[in-house]
Amino acid sequence: MAVTKAVRSPASRTRTKVAAAPQPGAVAAADAGPLKLGELSELLGYVFKRAQLRIFEDFIRCVEPLQLTPAQFSVLVLLEHNPGRNQTEIATTLGILRPNFVAMLDGLESRELCVRVRSTQDRRSHIVMLTDKGRAVLARAKRLVATKHEARLNALLGDDGRIAMMAMLEKLTKF
């Protein structure tokens, strides 16, 4: 759907040299003004994607002092709630493929937010656990998310709106 970040106004260059007696076979350019989205503006997926990018953008901005991406944040949250789990379990729960999770964990571990420890029960697995620093950063991140990011979304949608939204999102996720 080609939905990326901003939709800055389309260059709208000032055109003066209009209508110079259109030659046969000439290709006339359209004049200024914003373009029409057509059926895109009613396509749920299109509008949905735009909104999603906007939400993540805001998340990143709100958590910016802690330098955590949404993905990294989700890993830390999962580690906090699931002590003693290994890489594969954490990764697949978040929909991350195991090979891709390696570099991601490397990043978090090099920042001392978590550690890998070989399991004594299954020496293949690495148990991933939060460090104290990781726990502290996560606590601060959660506060930022709650007071800045989620607060803004709540203000936009209203309490009942948010509830309705979450209910619909659940339906969309499980079909």
Partner DNA sequence: CGCTATTTGATATAACTCATAACAATTATG
Partner DNA sequence: CATAATTGTTATGAGTTATATCAAATAGCG
Q: Exactly one of 4, 103, 110, 159 binds a second copy (CB under 8 A); which one?
A: 4
Q: Which stretch binds DNA (CB under 7 A): 31-39, 82-90, 129-137, 151-159?
A: 82-90
Q: End-to-end CA distance of the chain, in Å?
A: 21
Residues between 24 and 53 that touch DNA (CB under 7 A)? none
Interface with a second copy, residue 168, by CB under 8 A: yes
Q: Find which of a second copy, DNA, none residue 152 binds, CB within 5 to 8 Å per kind.
A: a second copy
The values of phi and psi at residue 114, to 5°, are: -155, 170
Q: How many CB atoms lie within 10 A of CB 169?
A: 11
SS3 for 19-61 is: CCCCCCCCCCCCCCCCCCCHHHHHCHHHHHHHHHHHHHHHHHH
Amino acid identity for residue 80 in this structure: E
Q: Which residues within the stretch 38-97 sit at the binding site for a second copy (CB under 8 A)?
A: 38-40, 42-52, 54-56, 58-59, 69-75, 77-78, 80-86, 88-90, 92-97
Q: Choose one: 80-88, 136-144, 146-154, 161-169; the region binding DNA (CB under 7 A).
A: 80-88
Whether 130 and 113 have beta carbons less than 8 Å apart is answered as: yes
Determine the Cα–Cα distance for residues 85 and 83; give it in Å rounded to an integer.
Answer: 6
For a second copy, the closer of residues 56 and 66 by Cβ is: 56
Name which of residues 107 to 166 contact DNA (CB under 7 A).
Answer: 116, 122-126
Query: With respect to a second copy, which residue has the nearer C-beta, 23 or 110?
Result: 23
